[in-house]
A and B are shown apart, each in its own frame.
Chain A
Amino acid sequence: MPDRYDVLVAGAGPAGLAAAQTAAAHGARVGLIDAQPRPGGQVWRHDVRREAPRAAREAFGKLRDVDVLASHSVVAVESSGLRVETPQGGRLISYGSLILATGARELLLPFSGWTLPGVTGAGGLQALAKQGWPVAGKRVVIAGSGPLLLAAADTLRKHGARVLGIYEQAPAAVVHAFARQLRHWPARAVQAIGLRLRLAGVPYRLGSFVRRAHGGDGVQRVDIETPTGTQALDCDLLAVGYGLVPNTELAQLLGCAMDYLGPHPHVSVDRLLRTSVGGVYAAGEAGGIGGLAVARLEGAMAGHVATGHSVAAHALLPQRDRERRFGALLSRHFALDPRLHALAEDSTLICRCEDVTLGELGGFTNARAAKLATRCGMGACQGRICGTALAELGRFPRDGARPPIFPARLATLAGLTTLPSDDAYRGS
């Protein structure tokens, strides 16, 4: 396979798949890289037991003219391309245009007991179950915020889990106001009603959140705050996710400007999805959480623009704008209750890689000072979990990305032609 592509797409979820397929249809030589062993991203992740949704199967079927480079993790940016790690070793891939379709990860907030085995993200447990994680017969509590909780519950039940309840932090009045808005979005309403019908019998409690998890070698019980008081529930698995945050590390490494809606950055793009760096585009969640429909439309738009077909991209704008409005509606209604920012106690571990507690972080006003004194954020996840949580908690923003953006083997780093200088990233 060539090491240079006209269009290189980073991320093989719905946005990246649409981008790659669209660019290839214009005759470009296209490479599609993803760290996972199979394309699909999170929402179209392969399920060992169930067939993929039709839209996903169709997207996978249109990759004939695309080089799909699976298990490829980008670790650094060089002047001539991206330094990538594969199971076979390091590789430098260069490009004419680069489309960032890096998607999102779950927002995970620290609370007492969140490091116990059996406590996962909500989308996290959904992803694990799709890949064969044993959930059949297990008692599962699902908590956090947003429609993803319902989708996770649906998947888990199809895999045989006993879902004890879904605990949504947004208050009942707000969730009902959101449901009333769905009359303007008939397709979404049909989807939501279908999901609710499939989950009939599973309690869906609003204005409720997990305060604490208890257990020895694994989670055994959770304390849930509800509008009518605290409730204790025995369970085998606890899945908690507070919505999504864009993956922007690669964009930051490339020097792309960021925008902020709240404490988390997303890639700043213009109407045609151009970032502040020439030849680099961003589509889908990387440019702000918008959901599956936005991802597919923006992927196609980026594929058009990157190959010089701006008119075709413009034609998709009205539809894209409408879907972005739905995304905004969602984030407005599922905004987080400030009480969630106070869940972590002084003894709660914040940095799970280096085992740093909230108490140890008192007094620090920036990530760099906290890191130098406590090692917070210096572990394998590079602050993706703790840095994002601390930003959400209003402590301090996450440190800027620096290479390697994922832990890499020495042999891969030895291939770097430009060694990263610490000065370039100091204070970023």
Chain B
Amino acid sequence: MSAQVKLSVNGLPVEVPAGASVAAAVAQVTMQFRRSVSDTRRAPLCGMGVCFECRVQVDGVAHVRACMTAVTEGMQVTTDA
């Protein structure tokens, strides 16, 4: 329950509880997850995998929904904001 996971968000070290989402880890660093097509900043809206506003890059894979992905040790997350 209390185990922590260490990962990196935009190159910065972040620590969150095991079982937390990538979205929770990103929110420790920035509230801007992606840039929209007209260059406005966006962050999670629905929290349940429907709206796609929380898309980030995880370990080189683009367009991963941060709210649907659990953190793993050493994960490298990059936002578009």
Q: Among B33, B37, B41, B67, point to the contact of A217 (Cβ < 8 A).
A: B41
B69: which A residues are within 8 A, CB to CB?
A: 37
Q: Is the CB of B70 within 8 A of A37?
A: yes
Residues B19 and A131 in contact, CB atoms below 8 Å apart: yes
Known: A133-B27, A352-B36. A124 touches B52 (CB 8 A): no
Q: Give every chain B residue within 8 A of A381 (Cβ-Cβ).
A: 50-52
Interface residue? A26 (CB, 8 A): no
For A355, what are the chain B residues with a Cβ–Cβ distance below 8 Å? 36-38, 40
Size bin of chain B's contact surface = 35 or more
Contact with A along B46-81 (1 / 0, CB 8 A): 111111110100000001000111100000000000
Selected from A35, A42, A379, A384, the residue in CB contact (under 8 A) with B68 is A35
CB proximity to A under 8 Å, residues B7-35: 16-21, 23-25, 27-28, 31-33
Q: Are A124 and B68 in contact (CB under 8 A)?
A: no
The verdict on A128 contacting B17 (CB below 8 Å), with A115-B40, A385-B46 known, is no
Given contacts A49-B17, A131-B23, contact A384 B51 (CB under 8 A): yes
Q: How far apart are the CA atoms of A379 and B68 in the complex, in Å?
A: 18
A327 / chain B contacts, CB cutoff of 8 Å: none
Interface size class of A (residues with CB under 8 A): 35 or more
Residues in A neighbouring B50, C-beta threshold 8 A: 105, 381, 384-385
Chain A, residues 350-374, CB within 8 Å of chain B (1/0): the string is: 0011110000000000000000000
Kindly list chain A residues whose C-beta atoms are within 8 Å of the C-beta of B68.
Answer: 35-37
| A119 to B42 CA separation, bound complex (whole angstroms) | 10
**Shortest Cβ distance from residue B51 to the other chain A in the assembled complex, whole angstroms:** 5
Q: Are B17 and A132 in contact (CB under 8 A)?
A: yes
Q: Which residue of B lies closest to A134 (CB)?
A: B27
Indicate if the CB atoms of B19 and A115 lie closer than 8 Å: no
CB distance from A398 to the nearest CB of B (A): 13
Please indicate the chain A residues that have their CB under 8 angstroms from the CB of B20 in the complex.
Answer: 48, 131-132
Q: Does A121 contact B (CB under 8 A)?
A: yes
The minimal Cβ–Cβ distance linking A390 to chain B, given in whole angstroms, is: 15
Q: Is the CB of A121 within 8 A of B45?
A: yes
The reply to whether the CB of A127 lies closer than 8 angstroms to some CB of chain B is: yes
| Chain B residues closer than 8 Å to A106, beta-carbon distance | 46, 48
Q: Which of A124, A133, A380 contacts B45 (CB 8 A)?
A: A124
Query: Given that A35-B68, A355-B40, A381-B50 are contacting pairs, would A48 and B27 also be in contact in the complex, using a CB cutoff of 8 Å?
Result: no
In the complex, per-residue mask of A108-135: 1 if CB is within 8 Å of any chain B CB, else 0:
1000000101111101111110011110
Q: Which residues of B contact A385 (CB under 8 A)?
A: 45-46, 50-51
Residue from A42, A218, A354, A380 in contact with B48 in the complex, judged by beta carbons closer than 8 Å: A42
Determine whether the beta carbon of A407 is less than 8 Å from that of B63.
Answer: yes
Query: How far, in Å, is A90 (CB) from chain B's closest CB?
Result: 15
Q: Is the CB of B63 within 8 A of A380?
A: yes
A105 contact set on B, CB distance < 8 A? 46, 48, 50
Contact partners of B24 in chain A: CB under 8 A: 48, 128, 131-134
Q: Tell me the bound Cα distance from A108 to B21 in angstroms.
A: 22
List of A residues within 8 angstroms of B28 by Cβ: 134
CB atoms of B19 and A124 under 8 A apart? no
Known contacts being A120-B44, A134-B28, A352-B42, is A115 close to B52, with CB within 8 Å?
no
> Is A211 engaged at the interface, CB distance under 8 Å to the other chain?
no
CA distance A90 to B67 in the complex (A): 21
CB distance from A381 to the nearest CB of B (A): 5
Give the CA-CA distance A37 to B69 in the complex, in Å.
7
Query: In the assembled complex, which residues on chain A have CB atoms less than 8 Å from the CB atom of B51?
Result: 108, 352, 381, 384-385
- Give 6 A-B contacts (CB < 8 Å), ordered by A residue: A105-B48, A121-B47, A131-B23, A353-B36, A380-B55, A385-B51
Give the 10 A-B CB pairs with smallest separation, nearest first: A132-B20, A132-B24, A117-B43, A124-B47, A380-B52, A127-B47, A131-B21, A117-B31, A355-B38, A128-B47
